[in-house]
């Protein structure tokens, strides 16, 4: 079996091409030549995207007793971003512009900061470029706001609301999934660096003296998440961020990196100790008391551990891990070895022949039964069965179910009301009673 080589750039090209061809990810605004740094999720992409977010919520919110959900507005009072430090130098990247072709580059991504890598022209002076998208609110246009560059601040400004309404006990966390925007100088690598993306973030509020212990607890929890995404441990590694490279709010950060095909290791998600930087800054700037009051009346400003996950990077890693080429029945095939809980379709149902009404009728019965149970079940009656298998393999459908003449009991009465279930990874086929099909797929 010829497994993919992780470092092979063509693998990423093949994944991007599969994503377009099979309805996972399209270039944003494609019919107008696109808009750099934006991508649209097609029918299968939105399914994968939703599955990842649902699994994350299940693991980190519903699966725990110390977590609370939140969904804050994207637009916020501009003072939020002054207090958090995002309007300042801490949230900008170094930019250089070519004096000849006018292209702009991130200076820290260039080896030679004097010569344009595109046209050989002279590069101008380095300057700082703030990554926030600015916008005006209201008809007068005199109220400035920003598209949020991280979801985290929505959590900090609602800290008091959640404490007052839910009376949580420290340590506790607030979790949020939502869009974030950054005017990246050089968007690149498919969904890896884009200008509009989704984050899944947790701000975990703690007592200062517990930070090392709880940082370790989250480190383990993050590994459990990467396992749940089906990412092999050899393709994920930790990078301790050097003190000089830490974000303006962080005292310690570990980047969890994934070994992206063609790119090598790059950041997948971050785990940061944000101290009390944010609550303290918002308390000073807003005048609101953002403290936690213990039952005995003592007060303190909680410190924060922040695991921060990007949905797009998770999708890129999951697709990279799942993309497989092998040989089956003497033919090369491409398939996505997606975990069952992430695959866009749990199973596909088809009649052996689509011009036999009795087969179609029985197959529709099975399809509707499974659809009612799982929701994400595909109906596929195009082409011959072999072609259907290839098509479903390519989008990662774990099981294909075929209703044939045996199901009707016409040729073999013992096989009546059984169907063929074919496994995506091995190609093996087993006969399963229709009455046991749901349990079989759930196993
Ligand atoms: N609240 C902390 C925070 O925003 P970050 O390391 O800047 O920290 C967290 O971002 C995660 O968001 C990253 O690990 C990555 O998964 C994702 N992310 C950040 N910028 C991104 C971009 N331009 N495109 C895609 N994902 C991005």
- pLDDT reported for residue 2: 41
Query: H or E segment at 223?
Result: helix 211-228
Report d(CA 192, CA 39) in Å as an integer: 11
Contact criterion met (CB below 8 Å) for 123 and 96: yes
pTM beyond 0.75: the answer is yes
The CB of 388 under 6 Å from ligand 1? The reply is: no
Atom 2 (ligand 1) nearest CA = 308
Q: Is 277 in the pocket of ligand 1 (CB under 6 A)?
A: no
Of the listed ranges 302-311, 327-336, 425-434, the least confidently predicted one is 327-336
What is the average pLDDT value for the chain, to the nearest integer?
A: 95
pLDDT per position as a tens digit, 227-272: 999 999 999 999 999 999 998 889 999 999 999 999 999 999 999 9
Helix 311-322 vs helix 9-21: crossing angle, to nearest 10: 110
Structure tokens at 337: 């070895």
User: Which residue lies with its CA nearest to atom 4 of ligand 1?
Assistant: 150
Phi, psi dihedral angles at 374 (to 5 degrees): -105, -25
Residue 338: pLDDT over 50: yes
Looking from the CA of residue 192, the nearest atom of ligand 1 is 25
Contacts of 14 (CB under 8 A, 6+ apart): 323, 334
Cβ 153 vs Cβ 174: under 8 Å: no
Ligand 1 within 6 A of 148 CB?
no
Of residues 68, 25, 15, 8, the one with CA closest to residue 337:
15
pLDDT score recorded for residue 433: 97
Work out which ligand 1 atom sits closest to the CA atom of 272. Answer: 2
Q: What is the pLDDT of residue 3?
A: 41
Determine whether the shortest distance from the Cβ of 93 to ligand 1 is under 6 A.
no
pLDDT tier at 4, thresholds 50, 70, 90: very low
Question: Which residues are 136's β-sheet partners?
Answer: 144
- Confidence tier at 172 by pLDDT (50, 70, 90): very high
- In this structure, the residue with its CA closest to atom 22 of ligand 1 is 193
For the chain, give the percent of residues with pLDDT over 90. Answer: 91
Model confidence at 394, in pLDDT bands (50, 70, 90)? very high
Which has the closest alpha carbon to 406: 397, 396, 394, 414? 414
CA distances from 360 to 208, 356, 365, 431 (A): 64, 6, 9, 18
Q: Which two tokens stand for residue 144?
A: 């400035």
H or E segment and range at residue 327: strand 323-328
Tens of pLDDT, residue by residue over 12-69, are 999 999 999 999 999 999 999 999 999 999 999 999 999 999 999 999 999 999 999 9
Q: Is the CB of 346 under 6 A from ligand 1?
A: no
**Which residue's CA is minimally distant from atom 15 of ligand 1?**
310
**What DSSP assignment string belongs to 202-263?**
EEEEE-GGGHHHHHHHHHHHHHHHHHHTT--GGGEEEEEPPGGGS-TT-SEEEEEEEEETTT
CA distance 240 to 263: 20
b or e along 186-220 (b: 16 or more beta carbons within 10 Å of the residue's beta carbon)?
ebebbbbbbbbbbbbbbbbbbeeeebeebbeebee
Query: Cβ distance 321 to 230 under 8 Å?
Result: yes
> Of 267, 307, 309, which is best to mutate to test ligand 1, by the most ligand atoms within 8 angstroms of its C-beta?
267
Cα→Cα distances 93→5, 190, 334, 378, Å? 33, 20, 39, 45
| pLDDT for 34 | 97
Q: Is the CB of 203 under 6 A from ligand 1?
A: no
User: Looking at ligand 1, which residue's alpha carbon is closest to its atom 20?
Assistant: 193
Dihedral angle of Cα 231, 237, 241, 246, to the nearest 10 degrees = 0
Counting runs of H as helices and runs of E as strands, what totals does the chain give? 12, 23
Question: Which residues face 238 on adjacent strands?
Answer: 256
The pair of three-digit structure tokens given for residue 70, joined into one six-digit string? 């939140």
Reference 75, options 140, 132, 160, 139; nearest CA is 132
Q: Is the CB of 184 under 6 A from ligand 1?
A: yes
Helix crossing, 43-57 with 311-322: angle to 10°?
110
Ligand 1 geometric centre to CA of 223 (Å): 18
Per-residue b or e along 53-77, where b marks 16 or more CB atoms closer than 10 Å to that residue's CB:
bebbbeebbeeeeebbebebeeebb
Paired tokens of 231: 């990412």
Q: Looking at the predicted structure, is the pLDDT value of residue 108 above 60?
A: yes
The answer to whether the beta carbons of residues 258 and 266 sit under 8 Å apart is yes
Distances (CA, A) of 440 to 136, 426, 428, 437: 55, 16, 14, 5
280: confidence class by pLDDT, cuts 50, 70, 90: very high
Question: Alpha carbon of 329 to those of 118, 150, 332, 422, 442: distances in Å?
Answer: 46, 49, 8, 14, 28
* C-beta of residue 151 within 8 angstroms of C-beta of residue 306: no
- Phi and psi torsions of 10, nearest 5°: -65, -25
């Amino acid at each position: 079996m010829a497994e993919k080589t992780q470092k092979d750039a063509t693998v990423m090209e093949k994944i991007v091409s599969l994503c377009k061809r099979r309805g996972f990810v399209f270039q944003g605004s494609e019919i107008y030549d696109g808009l750099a740094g934006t991508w649209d999720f097609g029918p299968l992409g939105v399914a994968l995207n939703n599955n990842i977010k649902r699994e994350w919520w299940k693991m980190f919110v519903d699966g725990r007793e110390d977590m609370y959900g939140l969904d804050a507005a994207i637009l916020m009072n501009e003072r939020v971003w002054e207090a958090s430090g995002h309007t300042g130098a801490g949230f900008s990247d170094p930019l250089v512009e070519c004096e000849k072709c006018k292209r702009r580059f991130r200076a820290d991504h260039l080896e030679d900061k004097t010569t344009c890598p595109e046209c050989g022209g002279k590069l101008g002076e380095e300057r700082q470029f703030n990554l926030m998208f600015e916008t005006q609110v209201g008809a007068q246009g005199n109220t400035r706001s920003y598209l949020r560059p991280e979801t985290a601040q929505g959590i900090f400004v609602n800290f008091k609301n959640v404490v007052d309404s839910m009376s949580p006990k420290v340590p506790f966390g607030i979790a949020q999934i939502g869009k974030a925007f950054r005017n990246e100088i050089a968007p690149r690598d498919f969904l890896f660096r884009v200008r509009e993306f989704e984050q899944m973030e947790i701000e975990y509020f703690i007592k200062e003296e517990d930070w090392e212990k709880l940082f370790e607890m989250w480190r383990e929890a993050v590994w459990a998440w990467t396992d749940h995404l089906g990412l092999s441990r050899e393709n994920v590694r930790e990078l301790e961020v050097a003190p000089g490279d830490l974000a303006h709010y962080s005292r310690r950060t570990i980047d969890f990196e994934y070994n992206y095909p063609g790119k090598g290791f790059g950041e997948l998600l971050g785990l940061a100790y944000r101290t009390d930087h944010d609550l303290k800054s918002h308390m000073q700037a807003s005048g609101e008391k953002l403290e936690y009051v213990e039952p005995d009346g003592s007060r303190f400003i909680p410190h924060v551990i922040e695991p921060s996950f990007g949905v797009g990077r998770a999708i890129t890693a999951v697709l990279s891990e799942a993309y497989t080429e092998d040989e089956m029945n003497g033919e090369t095939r491409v398939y996505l070895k997606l975990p069952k809980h992430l695959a866009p379709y749990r199973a596909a149902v088809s009649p052996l022949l689509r011009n036999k009404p009795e087969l179609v009728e029985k197959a529709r019965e099975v399809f509707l039964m499974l659809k009612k149970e799982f929701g994400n079940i595909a109906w596929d009656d195009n082409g011959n069965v072999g072609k259907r298998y290839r098509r479903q393999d390519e989008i990662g459908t774990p099981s294909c179910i075929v209703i044939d003449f045996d199901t009707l009991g016409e040729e073999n009465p013992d096989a009546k009301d059984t169907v063929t279930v074919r496994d995506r990874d091995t190609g093996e086929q087993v006969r399963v009673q229709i009455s046991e099909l749901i349990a079989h797929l759930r196993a």
